[in-house]
Structure 1
């Protein structure tokens, strides 16, 4: 299973249950060679993410973004698990290492 697509961050182990969704629903998105994420007051974007393996089941990336309106950068990694979840970690340069668990973001095809 590929990491490509939008994933809903459902858990940040070690943090309070509602921490991730303070500003908006927490997510991480992987597209062909780029992506973005948002959780709590942190947003980030990346380009040239490196996938490992022919099925793109894992990725490592460097990112730039904001944390409470302060510029921040770091690195991250994620891997699709056997149960279909995505597990990874987002690391801020000289800062926190935040683990996450995500599930595929299910979108509706019904117009609103």
Structure 2
């Protein structure tokens, strides 16, 4: 059983984890989008790519996540409201 996907964005950096992938993010911001490049490990293999996250009208976030010279995934996420901000 795998854990739910997790994405955290803080300033110009972030982290994402889903499935066997764990990666760090370098971020840049637009008015309603975040653009990123990423690098990390997927099943012990070094991987990298780029992507973007867009806030949709219904409050969901759509994340386009592409591996360098490889597959692309589109994820839809909602904010976890059970945690509190520091």
**Same fold per TM (> 0.5)?**
yes
Find the structure with the greater CA-based Rg: 1
In 1, distance between residues paired with 2:54 and 2:83? 25
In structure 2, runs of 5+ residues without a counterpart are: none
In 2, distance between residues paired with 1:92 and 1:26? 17
The number of equivalent residue pairs is 84
RMSD: 1.3
Which residue does 2:78 correspond to in 1?
Answer: 103
Which residue does 1:88 correspond to in 2?
Answer: 63
Which residue does 1:52 correspond to in 2?
Answer: 30
Q: Runs in 1 of length 4+ with deviation above 3 angstroms?
A: none
Which residue does 2:18 correspond to in 1?
Answer: 39
Q: Which has the higher strand share?
A: 2
Q: Secondary structure at the match of 2:57?
A: coil
Question: Which structure's relative contact order is higher, taking Cα pairs within 8 Å and 6+ residues apart?
Answer: 1
Match of 2:49 among 74, 98, 103: 74
Q: TM-score scaled by structure 1?
A: 0.70
